[in-house]
Amino acid sequence: MLGIAQDIASGFIPAFATKSVALGAPSLAHLSLLDLAVIAIYFVIVIWIGFHLKSMSNTSEEFFMAGREMTAWIAGLSFVSANLGSLELMGWAGSAYQYGILAAHWYWIGAIPAMLFLGMVMMPFYYVCKTHSVPGYLKLRYGQGSSTVAAVSFALMTVLMSGVNMFAMAEVMKIVLGWDLNFSIIVSSLAVAAYVALGGLRSAIFNEVLQFVLIWGGALLVPILGLIEAGGWNGFKARLAANIAKGVTANGDYTHMWRSMGHFADNPMGIHWTGIVFGLGFAISFGYWTTDFLVVQRVLAANSLRSARLAPVIGSFFKMAVPFIVILPGLLGLVVLQNADGSLMHLVGENVVAANPGAGLHSYNEVLPLMMVRYLGPGLLGLGITALIAGFMSGMAGNVSAFTAIFTYDIYQPHIVKNAPDEHYVLVGRIVTVLGVVISIGAAYAVMRAAGIMDYVQALFSFFISPLLGVVLLGMFWKRATKAGGFWGLLIGTLTSIGLWAWVKADPSALRYVAISPDAKDMAENMYRALWSVSTSVGVNVIVSLFTKPRPLSELAGVVYGATPLPKEEPVPFYKNEWFWTAIAIVIFLALNIYFW
């Protein structure tokens, strides 16, 4: 982040941040009746889906795993959609405005290799062992101890994240539309509680697919019209270069992804290519996409192993396309957004906006809504806003449905009521869904009272993901890994992450040691911390395993590479083969990185 101090010190704000279009207005956008109708229709459809699916969610397999009958397309779109929340859309559009196309790293190297690895390498093990969750896999591989640690931490973090999401949505609706915070929280939580409690995971997945279509339908027009206004990609680059030459836009390389990654000081993010490749591209990305149950749950609901393997591959193509509706609008905002007097609008950090109330400033995170308001008239604006609402709500639903499954399967069933009839667990699932929403509302109000909590919740989430990756990977691909190795690897890896985070929190100068450079900035810390914690997790697991007794090979069938006979898949034409599409995805991934090198 450039940060408030640097913004002010550079003289950026007084020079460029003059009156904006929305000066004095209570909100960015004003909705017409047509827009409100578009939003209302979305809610009607969502509740309709919930009621329709209620009759198809009677058994635990149906309620928690969507009956394992999702096609590759539905599972794939839901998989990628679970990570396409509105916070991400608005946040990364803002980052693109601030840092340029570097933000696309989080969509390409920060996602594609991990998604393809999940589909081609890891999915057979998750799918063949018929686990219902990632902690469920840990139980099969390492025993109850590691599973319970992962389940409790995941359940807690998931429901808190849902609350953070809920608060963030309410705040965005307040800024963009002027809606009351309580109104947004109550309406969205009631809708989510209704459709997830009624239809379970199937309902959450259906809404994610719906959200996916809405996001493209509502947001795709923005970059199209933006490119027309800017004169195409070359026209955009020419206008940007002219603005930089005139000094009205901060100097920097906004259109290349790798050439400024040679040193921490060469790019505004303060990151080195090793952090991007190994920290983001491996430790964070593989941790999130291959072990975070929120996304893996969608693929586990696929109707066959082939569908389960194809789903992440299908998702990877759409993930590669997302920068078109997220990063590109942020970049275009650099040259097309104008103040009322026709001068170039300059967006600033949230802190600067907060420190200058009434100055008509807009933050980086508002670039996407600002672009929507610029191009979208009645109806289309409602569609864009509906896409944002749908993104928030399906994000909440994803968290709540994952929380419900983990709590019921990995905490309630093994520790509280072990051998109840199936319908008992479905009832518990429905009750826990409502309970999860209630806890989320509590978390949302807690965040409202103390905004700092949001940072802590997000940091807490990051503590568990990377060490879990180390434990799952070793468990899946090393027969020698033992129960004690898994438990201590997970625990020490997590403590390493917490320790490094606390060290930098207490003494910001410690970042130079964590990220191995005095020029490193905040974002680099996350990457290197993840890298250290996954390395520690693997290292501890290996050492402890070598000194403890491994399980016999016969007990590892279905969960470890080399001990698992993979089912033979029926031959299909090449265009239906997952390896063919994986190869195409790799080629496109490489081509994009080379083109924007």
Contact status, residue 36 vs residue 184, Cβ threshold 8 Å: no
Q: Interface with other proteins by CB under 8 A: which residues?
A: 34, 37-38, 41-42, 45, 48-49, 52-53, 55-56, 69-71, 74, 205-206, 209-210, 213-214, 217, 221, 225, 228-229, 336, 373-380, 383
The CA distance from 254 to 172, in Å, is 27
Question: Looking at beta carbons only, is 70 or 402 nearer to other proteins?
Answer: 70
Question: Looking at beta carbons only, is 383 or 560 nearer to other proteins?
Answer: 383
| Three-state secondary structure string covering 147-205 | HHHHHHHHHHHHHHHHHHHHHHHHHHHHHHHCCCHHHHHHHHHHHHHHHHHHHHHHHHH
Nearest to 228 by CA among 326, 374, 35, 88: 374
The CA distance from 580 to 577, in Å, is 5
Q: Closest distance between other proteins and the C-beta of residue 184, in Å?
A: 21
The CA distance from 186 to 195, in Å, is 14
The CA distance from 300 to 130, in Å, is 8
Q: Closest distance between other proteins and the C-beta of residue 99, in Å?
A: 25
Cα–Cα distances in angstroms (integers) from residue 560 to residues 104, 406, 480, in the given order: 34, 22, 10
Q: Closest distance between other proteins and the C-beta of residue 36, in Å?
A: 11
Q: Closest distance between other proteins and the C-beta of residue 299, in Å?
A: 16
Nearest to 158 by CA among 432, 538, 529: 432
Question: Looking at beta carbons only, is 46 or 530 nearer to other proteins?
Answer: 46
DSSP 8-class letter at 283: I
Counting every residue written for the chain, the total comes to: 597
Question: Looking at beta carbons only, is 302 or 592 nearer to other proteins?
Answer: 302
Q: Closest distance between other proteins and the C-beta of residue 386, in Å?
A: 9
Question: Looking at beta carbons only, is 377 or 442 nearer to other proteins?
Answer: 377
Direct distance between the N- and C-terminal alpha carbons of the chain, in angstroms, rounded to an integer: 22
Q: Closest distance between other proteins and the C-beta of residue 465, in Å?
A: 29
Structure tokens at 277: 């490749």
Query: What Rg value do the Cα atoms of the chain yield, rounded?
Result: 24
Question: Looking at beta carbons only, is 229 or 253 nearer to other proteins?
Answer: 229
Q: Closest distance between other proteins and the C-beta of residue 368, in Å?
A: 15
Q: Closest distance between other proteins and the C-beta of residue 84, in Å?
A: 16
Structure tokens at 81: 């959609």
Question: Looking at beta carbons only, is 63 or 107 nearer to other proteins?
Answer: 63
Structure tokens at 508: 């910001």
Question: Looking at beta carbons only, is 74 or 490 nearer to other proteins?
Answer: 74
The CA distance from 156 to 161, in Å, is 9
